[in-house]
Structure 1
Amino acid sequence: MRVRVRERRATSPSAGVGASETTAPVLTRLGRAARVYWILASASLRGKMQYRLDFLGSTLIQTIMGADTILFIGAVLWRFGPVMGWSITDIAMLYAVSRMGMGIYMLFCNELDRFEIYMVNGDFDTLLIRPWPTLFTLLARGVGIDRLAFLAQGMAVAALAGPRLAATGAIRGWDIVWLLAAVAWSALLYFAVGLATAAVGFWIVRIEELQVFTMNAPSTATAYPLDIYPSWLRRVFVTLLPLGLGSYVPLRFILDKGGTALDLLWPALACPAAVWAALGLWKTGEAHYASTGT
């Protein structure tokens, strides 16, 4: 018995040292990865900002193109009244959350949207010879500063709808925190769907048409209340293509349009699972990647 106590006492300091020794390299690698990402992202930003007039023009055009959508919705609701219990301010906040989530995704994951070019031209080969994971290098190569219009649209609409919803008592207290969480959930789900779509490119190479089905159409559809769609389509937008899970589901409860408090929990559980599944598909596709030889 004495021997066992002595062994525990002798081994306990070394166990503590081992834990600290394993933590230190992890923090070092994270710090190094952050520095590398900043270097690559800064180079991408400098390259794009050389054409400032083109950047400002494209941003302005994208902002106007997004604004006409919400103006059209406002005109329809002004003429016919609320749709399925959703007023114009309710839909505006739903649109804002969805748009901000997509804007964050496009800002940091712009290269996933352009992944077909890497497959067709063989540019993915250059990522394989880098010392960092291919996905990390891909995302750092092209920060979508020219996609800031989507984020700006969402923030502008939220700034208009938020005070009106607060004045009527539709938003109160912790609801603001949950709205910010919904933006984060939307961004993560956009990332999961975008990454999974890009990963399919390892097998079929050309994914532009697939992106229309998995990203473009759902992002437009889920910017509006899912109540207006058939039940089978609603299930698609919260399961198979779960872009509505991050915005519509929590806002349905926050704005008192139905649902339960569990609507605030489902996105928090689904987001890690969706990202994990998308990363698994990416790794599997990367293992089956065949170079174009160019």
Structure 2
Amino acid sequence: MVAEVRRTLRLYRRLLGAHIRATLEYEADFWILSLAAVLVQGIGVLFLWAIFNSIPEINGWRFWDVVLIYALVVLAEGLSVLFAQGAWTLAVTVNFGQLDALLMRPFPPVLQVLSSQVGMNGLGNLVLGSGLLITAVGRVDVHWNPGRIALGVLLVIAAAGVKIGLNLLTNCAAFWLRSPYSMFAFSMHSFGELARFPITIYGLGVRIAITAVLPYAFMSYYPAAAILSDGTARLLGLLTPVVALYCLWLGATVFRYGLSRYESSGH
């Protein structure tokens, strides 16, 4: 069992490595994508600054607290784009019959899909997200110790797991929607943008939706609450690794169910 897991991880790493080397053959594209990612996410930070320049705090959350939440989203997106961008190719893979080739290989199809593409703009997200996170943690009212730092690292990794699982889950709509475009997944991704801000500013329905239905809030708000606040939000934040495992399991389960009804593209 352990040997099989090690083999699977090694093959996944080699597949990603091959796509990274292929992408780096076009250096100009790499730098443009990375810079574009920094600029796009940077505009969001400027938007936050403009808001808090007029309003000192929102529901008890101050500027650097929200920057911490924002940084977690950027890091989660960066890791998911860099290591599992292939989820966004699922619509094309399914509807053009390209999944046939993946089914012939002795490697789990879901992992082949996830590793089929590398988004180099993820590096830009990781650079900016890391910079924002490092800056924010030095300005929030938290006493840092080795245990809290270890918790923070675990929560960042778990937040990325939530994002990857939800990306896979929403893109599995390709097995039911006959279109080479991931419109449903993109709409859910846009809905997940609400997680860039403290969810206490939203109505009850939205909070339930991004906590229990599609738990995008576990990418940002709840991990931040686990470090910054007390009470129910903190307790939920500590469950982020469990939610990440659930999202990954749910995405893989729906993928297997969709795979069972896959009929190739036909002629």
> Is TM (by shorter chain) over 0.5?
yes
What's the offset of the Cα at 1:258?
5.0
Structure 2 residue aligned with 1:172, among 137, 140, 144?
A: 144
What is the RMSD of the two structures over their aligned residues, measured on CA atoms? 1.9
Counting only pairs closer than 5 Å after superposition, residues 7-26 of structure 1 correspond to structure 2 as 26=1
Residues 36 and 172 of structure 1, relative CA distance in 2, 3 Å threshold: closer
Structure 2 residue aligned with 1:193, among 154, 166, 177?
A: 166
Tell me the distance in 2 between the aligned counterparts of 1:183 and 1:33. 23
**Paired position in structure 1 for 2:185:** 211
Tell me the distance in 2 between the aligned counterparts of 1:37 and 1:263. 31
Counting only pairs closer than 5 Å after superposition, residues 43-62 of structure 1 correspond to structure 2 as 43-62=18-37
Residues 248 and 260 of structure 1, relative CA distance in 2, 3 Å threshold: closer
Answer yes or no: is 1:254 the counterpart of 2:227.
yes
Q: Which has the larger radius of gyration?
A: 1
**Paired position in structure 2 for 1:18:** none
Residue by residue over 1:171-192, the C-alpha shift from the partner in whole angstroms, topping out at 9 and shown as x without a partner, is 4223322222221221111122
- Whether contact under 8 Å (2:78, 2:121) holds in the other structure is no
TM-score (norm 1): 0.83
Residues 87 and 258 of structure 1, relative CA distance in 2, 3 Å threshold: farther
Counting only pairs closer than 5 Å after superposition, residues 247-286 of structure 1 correspond to structure 2 as 247-256=220-229, 259=232, 261-286=234-259
- Structure 2 unaligned blocks of 5 or more: none
User: Secondary structure of the residue that 1:114 maps to in structure 2?
Assistant: helix
Equivalent position amino acid for 1:118 in 2: T
TM-score (norm 2): 0.91
- Whether contact under 8 Å (2:64, 2:139) holds in the other structure is yes
- Structure 1 unaligned blocks of 5 or more: 1-25
Structure 2 residue aligned with 1:95, among 67, 70, 84?
A: 70
Equivalent position amino acid for 1:267 in 2: T
Identity across the alignment (%): 23
Number of residue pairs aligned between Structure 1 and Structure 2: 265
Residues 250 and 34 of structure 1, relative CA distance in 2, 3 Å threshold: closer
Residues 180 and 205 of structure 1, relative CA distance in 2, 3 Å threshold: farther
- Structure with the larger RCO, 1 or 2 (CA within 8 Å, 6+ apart): 2
What's the offset of the Cα at 1:32?
2.8
